[in-house]
Chain A
């Protein structure tokens, strides 16, 4: 249970406070409702590059990190397809430093040319380190455009290609800032050893004078239903063949999401799960296998990915996956199996409330989903799911025409 109080400033900034007097710390979490899905197709990777630039100095503060560290604080940020999230933690006595830093960079950035030049290089090295210089690293660069033809989820947060990051200009940066970095496109959560009244007045003082956005946001293109199976094969210098199957499914915001999430848990969460047991332990077809949903804010994907044991034929591996999918669609899902995965969700939520920063993030995400109290009530939505709901989702999702398959094969291995 995460208690909270909330207030919306005149400029549209939502402020949420969670008081926890048991800690000497405070966390400030600012979520901007912008991600890679807001990029134009010829300038991808921009939301993430922009996140880097948010540390390159703001209107009145040349260096973001140094004053925070001087205050005993630490920070980080991340970007995905839907969200850019910034958070800092520091001794609660120094929370005003957080207000000063975060409000100044929401007010205006320094737009330094040097910062853009350096961060372009840093992001290009990140692109290489995480996507190009790792075995299996570029899988999502292929899988996304296979599964999405219209919706911007067709590119990864890092961008379609390095050149998009290389070509970013200071005008692009300014334009992006003006469109998305506004108080009415953000939520501010402050959690820890703080008083709500004091936080509301600090928020008014530091953020109240920032102008709301002037740009109207347009809706995202809707991905049309997939009507036939898609396949793509790539060959790489990797030791083992692997397979990635992506099925279209609902969004994080849809009511069916909870059944789909539990479906993937039954399939693949932990060592007692169906796919792990049958395909890794019993049949020795895969060295590892994972099933998960992408939990996106628009319609997302359910992904099954596995690395084959050396010498196993792809068609045998696929047949074994299909057998498990058929069992889910046509066989029995018993109540005990459903209870098990619901119990796991319940304890995971309890564990996720230990850290202050995680509580703050839970509140911010719930607010973005449309109801802050979901941070406390979402467990009930899981508990209401029945075996038949899960089976219904399985039947709807696991249709061949709804599937995109990426065969990611070893050049050195002949099958």
Chain B
């Protein structure tokens, strides 16, 4: 047998040169709804993504937009929730919704051959929802129980509490949903919100998958009419932020054997000049398996199953956070190591080799994030909803290719001051 292969030196690597991002193509339905089309892939299927920006936020009804969106398919005058679900399921399609503090969306995944059969149901759900009392009661009951279970998890408590500390309990980014918020939902409020929100003027559509002219015609047939046009919704008005005072926060969770740690601060949106550079610094610090945090706190100390950090851009604000669950007995030791890693990036310039690894890893990940039509749709969506164009990715990739160790250090000095970080630990006394 041959065994002459040289294992001591790694195979030579080819640099990642050109990255091509297939762009979405813009179409317009007869009623003016913009449709962004991403035609890619071999599978004969399509995703229809309808996005609606949330209307003005009322702190006394924090669930209004999300509950309305989640309850759309719970019944119309013509069909019950079960019948609507059957109409979708029979054709092997999938219906889903997504809610954030900025937007709500409704998605339909369908085989192309059944699209003509499933779109009428989607349209009915969107514009004829009646929010039946009994379905609303079930929705409230089940979500109240779901919250009670979540509140037993140190990680869930930490996630919610941390956002509340950063953005304030009256802001949609910071409010923690309670059982009382659910009980306060009124059917009349949902109906009123539905009428104002789900109109063609507020809708943006992204179509991804195998999309032909025929697909666009079908979308126009079922969603392009003027019957759901009504321009009386209000634009979202900003609610002022109010952060909690003090840097250090502790929440006791009796009987927990691990503590959840969150450390971070408010940062910025995707359009900020430092965003691409921060993305690199974050990856190096806590954004991939080989990161400083993973190498030290998991792979060297064994304090945790996982630790990571992220830069989260939203529509009007953004934040940075580190998150982990560690054995309760090593909580203080883990905190010390996290700050040590921040300080190290501020005081010592990273080695070129390490930055090169991060750079290549991120370029590879970026290519992977363009893999399927649905990936491309997500890429487009995050850019478009931040009010950006494709040149944003040119700037992002240019920074990724060019950033040097001194710039990483400058960013760490600017943003990684431990004294500027909010620290939250949820765990046993």
Contact = CB atoms under 8 A, between A and B. Distances in A.
B1 A89 contact: no
B371 A356 contact: yes
B363 interface: yes
A23 interface: yes
Contacts of A340: 86, 89-90
A270 B90 contact: no
Interface string B142-158: 10011011001110000
A240 B145 contact: yes
A120 interface: yes
Contacts of B91: 343
Contacts of B299: 118, 122
Given A128-B258, A347-B93, A66 B357 contact: yes
Interface SS of chain A:
helix
A89 B41 CA distance: 18
B397 interface: no
Interface string A127-152: 01110111110000000000000000
A282 to B, nearest CB: 9
Given A72-B364, A205-B2, A340-B90, A118 B300 contact: yes
B145 A351 contact: no
Nearest to A63: B290
Interface in B126-163: 135, 137-138, 141-142, 145-146, 148-149, 152-154
B82 A100 contact: no
A73 B364 contact: yes
B85 A272 contact: yes
B254 to A, nearest CB: 9
Interface residues of B, number: 75
A91 B89 contact: no
Nearest to A347: B92
A65 B45 contact: no
| Residue from the set B255, B258, B358, B361 with the largest chain A CB neighbour count within 10 Å | B361
B305 A209 contact: no
Interface in B89-137: 89-94, 109-111, 135, 137
A344 interface: yes
Contacts of B193: none
Interface in A266-291: 269-272, 277, 280-281, 284, 287-288
Nearest to A59: B7
Contact of B367 (A24, A208, A350): A24
B149 A122 contact: no
Interface in B321-336: 325-327
Interface string B299-329: 1111111000000000000000000011100
Contacts of B141: 284, 287, 309
A122 B330 CA distance: 13
Contacts of A133: 153-154, 256-258, 325
Contacts of B56: none
A365 B86 CA distance: 32
Given A70-B13, A121-B303, A277-B82, A25 B371 contact: yes
Contacts of A130: 305
A130 B111 CA distance: 36
B305 A122 contact: yes
A92 B16 CA distance: 10
A287 B298 CA distance: 36
Nearest to A70: B357
A350 B44 contact: yes
A226 interface: no
A60 B6 CA distance: 10
Contacts of A206: 5
Contacts of B303: 121, 125
B289 interface: yes
Contacts of A136: 149
Interface string B272-307: 000000000000000011100000001111111100
Interface in A184-216: 204-206, 208-209
A327 B189 CA distance: 39
B50 interface: no
| Residue from the set A22, A94, A288 with the largest chain B CB neighbour count within 10 Å | A94
B220 interface: no
A354 B302 contact: no
A278 to B, nearest CB: 10
A287 B152 contact: no
Contact of A122 (B135, B302, B356, B373): B302
B258 A74 contact: no
A378 interface: no
Given A287-B141, A351-B43, A354-B374, A71 B364 contact: yes
A125 B261 CA distance: 14
A271 B325 contact: no
Given A134-B153, A238-B152, 15 more contacts: A72-B16, A72-B361, A72-B363, A74-B361, A97-B10, A97-B11, A103-B7, A118-B301, A128-B258, A134-B152, A209-B1, A209-B2, A271-B85, A307-B145, A351-B43
Interface of B: 1-3, 5, 7-8, 10-11, 13-14, 16, 41-45, 73, 81-82, 85-86, 88-94, 109-111, 135, 137-138, 141-142, 145-146, 148-149, 152-154, 255-258, 288-290, 298-305, 325-327, 356-358, 360-361, 363-365, 367-368, 371-374
17 contacts: A23-B371, A69-B358, A72-B367, A97-B11, A124-B327, A125-B302, A125-B305, A128-B327, A133-B256, A135-B152, A277-B82, A288-B146, A340-B86, A351-B43, A351-B109, A354-B41, A354-B373
